[in-house]
């Protein structure tokens, strides 16, 4: 199982030196990858109609492609995955280009985690329909894979019309792996049909058991199995209890997780040093072993 980190960006300074130090510490400690969340805009909680989302305009988010490009320049082995890029609120050919260039610059260390998101404010601001985001995403994944593997693409769909054109440079990985996030039944069906991996949000393997069984059934319908699909949950630092972390890690390993990312946000840390101390402690306990 590959052990990585959730970049703690809502609690971490937007400072180039701090980002560099985090990425280089992660690599030196033996972590395999960094996962970063994606939000382009944050809503004002005092806006008309109120706001109930977990993030507001006060919460900082680094744009994943830019963040990972910078991290790639200061590391040599560390992998990268948005967890998740909110794909339907982005223009598809631009995402294809950005991902392809990042894959070239990082030497093929990218997996593209995508999902539909929950923040309608971002969709309104970007000019995309929130209510068709699932169907749009499915077409986007098809377009992305064609653009990453073919020099020239001719495509006409519901949302895309590509008139015999292509990317240059193409990515190193052809195609870049696409992992899907979300929990709804339609998402599990989408993972079974289209996904190279699944990014669940369940806290423990036991909590995910029913969903994993459902996913297994949908994979079988597609002539696939869990061996064909990666699984990357997140592990929360909490109070840093070694036994609790070890039990959760063992549970996910037994459930077939191929990757896992340690999340140190929400643990009460107020300085970069506390986050770095936590990932160092976790690495000493579990990564080297």
Q: What is the pLDDT of residue 48?
A: 87
Q: What is the CATH number of domain 2-287?
A: 3.20.20.30
> Tens of pLDDT along 236-289?
999 999 999 999 999 999 999 999 999 999 999 999 999 999 999 999 999 975
Q: What is the pLDDT of residue 53?
A: 87
CA neighbours closer than 13 Å in the CB half-sphere of residue 226 = 14
In the structure, what pLDDT confidence band is assigned to residue 152 with cuts at 50, 70 and 90? Answer: very high
> Tens of pLDDT along 9-31?
999 999 999 999 999 999 999 99
> Tens of pLDDT along 21-63?
999 999 999 999 999 999 999 999 998 888 888 999 999 999 9
| pTM for this prediction | 0.96
Q: What is the pLDDT of residue 289?
A: 52
C-alpha triplet 116, 148, 37: angle, nearest 5°: 35
Residue 233: pLDDT above 80? yes
Q: What is the DSSP string of the chain?
A: -EEEEE--GGGS---HHHHHHHHHHHHHTT--EEEE---S----TTSTT---SS--TTS----HHHHHHHHHHT-SS-EEEES-EEGGGS-HHHHHHHHHHHHHHTTS-B-EEEE--S-HHHHHHHT--GGGHHHHHHHHHHHHHHHHH-SSEEEE-SS-EEEEE--SSPPSSSSPPEEEE--SHHHHHHHHHH-SEEE---SSHHHHHHHHHHHHHHHHHTT--GGGSEE--EEE-TT--HHHHHHHHHHHHHTT-SEEEEE-TTS---SHHHHHHHHHHHIIIII--
Per-chain mean pLDDT for the chain: 96
Q: What is the pLDDT of residue 169?
A: 98
> Tens of pLDDT along 53-94?
899 999 999 999 999 999 999 999 999 999 999 999 999 999
CA distance 162 to 146: 11
CA distance 11 to 18: 12
In the block, tokens 């193409």 appear at 170
């Amino acid at each position: 199982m590959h052990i990585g980190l959730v970049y703690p960006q809502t609690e971490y300074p937007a400072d180039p030196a701090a980002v560099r130090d985090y990425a280089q510490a992660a690599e030196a400690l033996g972590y395999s990858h960094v996962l970063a969340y994606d939000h382009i805009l944050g809503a004002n909680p005092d806006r008309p109609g109120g706001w109930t989302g977990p993030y507001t305009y006060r919460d900082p988010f680094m744009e994943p492609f830019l963040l990972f490009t910078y991290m790639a320049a200061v590391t040599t082995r560390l992998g990268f995955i948005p967890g998740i890029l909110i794909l339907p609120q982005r223009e598809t050919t631009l995402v294809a280009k950005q991902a392809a260039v990042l894959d070239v610059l990082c030497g093929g260390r990218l997996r593209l985690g995508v999902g539909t998101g929950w923040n309608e404010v971002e969709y309104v601001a970007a000019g995309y329909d929130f209510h068709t985001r699932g169907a749009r995403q499915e077409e986007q994944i098809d377009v992305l894979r064609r653009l990453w593997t073919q020099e020239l693409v001719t495509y006409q769909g519901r949302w895309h019309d590509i008139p015999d054109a292509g990317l240059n440079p193409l990515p190193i990985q052809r195609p870049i792996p696409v992992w899907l996030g979300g929990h709804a039944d339609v998402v599990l069906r989408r993972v079974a049909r289209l996904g190279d991996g699944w990014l669940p949000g369940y806290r423990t393997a036991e909590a995910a058991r029913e969903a994993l069984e459902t996913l297994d059934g949908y994979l079988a319908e597609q002539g696939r199995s869990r061996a064909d699909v990666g699984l990357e949950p997140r592990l929360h630092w909490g109070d840093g209890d070694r036994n609790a972390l070890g039990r959760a890690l063992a549970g996910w390993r037994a459930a077939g997780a191929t990757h896992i990312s340690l999340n140190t946000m929400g643990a009460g840390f107020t300085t970069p040093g506390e986050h770095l101390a936590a990932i160092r402690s976790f690495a000493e306990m579990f990564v080297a072993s």
